[in-house]
Structure 1
């Protein structure tokens, strides 16, 4: 029996089956690296060119030079271990985050739209993200770090599955 035959079927929160692409590690590292590089560069420029830079700025520069590389080593690996997704005939499951982790379930019958998006850095790494908009106040589900071909195939699968399910997605 599936969820379409039994409207009282209770979906349970569980770890989704699939990991995101390993390329996501490089994407997350590069994205965070750009932020750290800008932050450190601006501080270093002010400290090195100002006549009397504030002492706290030197402290934050040193902290950024220590914390930045640690963040770049730990965060992408940790996120890769956490980020998962799964689509069944009844629901879309996602798990994401690293310090703050989120698990979400969206019944197929509640899906309104499925979007595939690629930013410039994601394109460089051959990745895409899927946004599944539902009739939920909690907002859309996002699956980031998918290989582009996998994301397109998943969007097609979700669209077909959603069309086959009766309901008004509200």
Structure 2
């Protein structure tokens, strides 16, 4: 932008309209307890294994105990902070022209796939996701970057999105390559 509010390269308002907005929808609020329990289970295994090793292995230096304690503190911070940050960041949207996602909690990734590039639409629901009434959708495209995943949607929303994407892609011309 120049000082007078115009663009440096002389572009018009079409350039401003091309600015990417964030996807319209958040994931399910049940994603927070799901991510909390998932993190708790994974972190507990690591912390317990480190603590058991510390106490069972003879002649371990004292500083290793400090490392185990720091690991436990980091695990608690991870379990408390990560789910809430992810919930604020994770967003998704499906339109007649594209699938758009944003995810992450430390780093951020935004992905957009034109509907004409969609090859398959899959849904997944592991045991823990089923317990929380959640499902994930994976949209495979003709992209070297790999599939786009929309994680932690309510069961019903996931089914509706799969149905919507199937209908849109079936009516879209092109060979998804």
Superposed displacement of residue 12, structure 1: 5.7
The worse-fitting range, judged by mean Cα deviation, of 45-54 and 94-103 is: 45-54
- Structure 2 unaligned regions, length at least 5: 1-16
Counterpart in the other structure of 1:109? 116
Superposed displacement of residue 11, structure 1: 7.3
Is 1:155 matched up with 2:162?
A: yes
**Structure 1 residues 12 and 155: CA distance shift in structure 2, 3 A:** farther
Q: Structure 2: how far apart are the matches of 1:28 and 1:134?
A: 27
- Structure 1 unaligned regions, length at least 5: 1-9
Q: Structure 1: how far apart are the matches of 2:63 and 2:161?
A: 49
Decide which structure has the larger Cα Rg and report it: 2
What CA RMSD, in Å, does the superposition of the two structures yield over aligned residues?
Answer: 1.5
- Which structure has the higher relative contact order (CA within 8 Å, separation 6+)? 1
Counterpart in the other structure of 1:28? 35
Superposed displacement of residue 108, structure 1: 0.7
Q: For the Cα contact (< 8 Å) 1:112–1:134, is it kept in 2?
A: yes
Q: For the Cα contact (< 8 Å) 1:43–1:57, is it kept in 2?
A: no
TM-score normalised according to structure 2 size = 0.86
Is 1:67 matched up with 2:74?
A: yes
Is 1:13 matched up with 2:20?
A: yes
Counterpart in the other structure of 2:126? 119
- SS at 2:99 equivalent: strand
Query: Alpha-carbon deviations, 1:77-113, whole Å to 9, x = none?
Result: 0000000000111111100111111011111111000
**Structure 1 residues 87 and 12: CA distance shift in structure 2, 3 A:** farther
**Structure 1 residues 12 and 156: CA distance shift in structure 2, 3 A:** farther
- SS at 1:57 equivalent: helix
Alignment of 1:22-101 (within 5 A): 22-101=29-108
